[in-house]
Amino acid sequence: MHPSADLFAETLPAVHTALPVQGADRVAFEIGWDHAHYRLTPPPEALADAHPVHQGWRAGSATFGTRTLKPTPHVRKWLQLRLSAWRRGRVFESVQVTPNFLAQIDVPLCPITRVELTHGSGAGSDASVDRVCNQAGYAAGNLAVMSTRANQAKADLGWRDAMEVVRQLEASGLDTLDGLAPVHWSRLAVLASFATPLPHAEAACLPMLVLPPNRLRLLNAIQALQAIVTLAFTHEQAVPRLRELQAHVPAIARHDFQVFVLTLQARRLALGMQLGGQALRHALEDLWADAAVNRRWQRFALQLTGADTECLVRHASRRRLGGRGWQWLPQDTATEGWALDHDGSVAPRPGWAVAAKPPVKAIATRRRGSATCAADTAR
């Protein structure tokens, strides 16, 4: 399940010279070729004569000459991600992940720290594209834009690791780790959980501290339902619209669904009906820090089965209760190109350093302050 617009695939140049027959070298050759198509030069480390990226760039330059395309910021990011994935031995799904796709997932604010994103400044507020599930490749539905600071702190940690950091921070008395406060680590954990298959009961107990970014695929149906119901309150007449969904809730859970919806409605009214846009999204996320909201959600959600939840999400998607962009996808389709069977990896390229997955960040108990932890965070 994912909030998305229709999928668009960009048409890349059809003119090709003879390409290397080997898979890895062919990928690198095409990366160089596409640099030439946009009249961009690959980074210096890829310009050795025998390097397949350099070979593709030279072939493309000879073919295109000055008949090149203008490189937009999303084209530059697309080429950067492809090269990074290739040299680190990560799968890059190139059919759907295009410059146009990267433009669709772009956001003005970091979903983790909520700071305004900058570009090319070298600061921690610079925008970066990250894999949400580190055991999957660079693929549609598994990518989100966040600040470099949040990306570097997350590194290769999973959602459970991020929650462990929250527990350690709270126990240690520290304010931050790697520049992120506990609330930021909690949002990172919830974001990563969206793209991690979880048991129904476990996913049902997670607060929606961050709403799913555009084009992210939610692999847990109960979290999809949670997001749809929450996002319904970004529109007018949320309760009458959700009353239609209530008719499809199993009878045993119907009363608790109504109690939960009325709880959200009361909190929404308290925010003021003039609130809208990104400020409203943030306020709705913050409502999930309310113990009563979580308690009433869990009382309802834990009475549902996985099949019950899927039926409700399908109906809500058809009726666009959470907005126009929701689309139901079968599990195999939702994770197409993620390469989950081998953790999103292919063999790393010779000569490139590949860092091992870092351990969970350990924090010593001390007076309130901040801590940092170094890790290889090249994405």
Name the residue ranges covered by the structural domains of the chain: 18-86, 107-196, 198-338
Quick one: how many helices (H) and strands (E) in the chain?
15, 6
pLDDT of residue 68: 96
Residue 336: pLDDT over 50: yes
Find the mean pLDDT for residues 300-321: 94
Per-residue pLDDT tens digits for 104-136? 999 999 999 999 999 989 999 999 999 999 999
Cβ within 8 Å of residue 124, ≥6 positions away: 147, 148, 149, 152, 179
Position 289 scores a pLDDT of: 96
Q: What is the mean pLDDT of residues 311-319?
A: 93
pLDDT at position 29: 96
Whether pLDDT at 35 is above 70: yes
What mean pLDDT is reported for the chain?
Answer: 87
User: Residue 177 pLDDT more than 90?
Assistant: yes
Identify the band that residue 218 occupies on the pLDDT scale cut at 50, 70 and 90.
very high
Q: What is the identity of the amino acid at 325?
A: G
Contacts for 108 with CB less than 8 Å, ≥ 6 apart: 116, 117, 278
Q: Output Rg (C-alpha) for the chain, integer angstroms.
A: 22
Joined tokens for residue 24: 């890895």
Tens-place pLDDT, residues 50-105: 999 999 999 999 999 999 999 999 999 999 999 999 999 999 999 999 999 999 99
344-370 burial, b at 16+ Cβ within 10 Å, e below that, comes to bbbeebeeeeeeeeeeebebeeeeeee
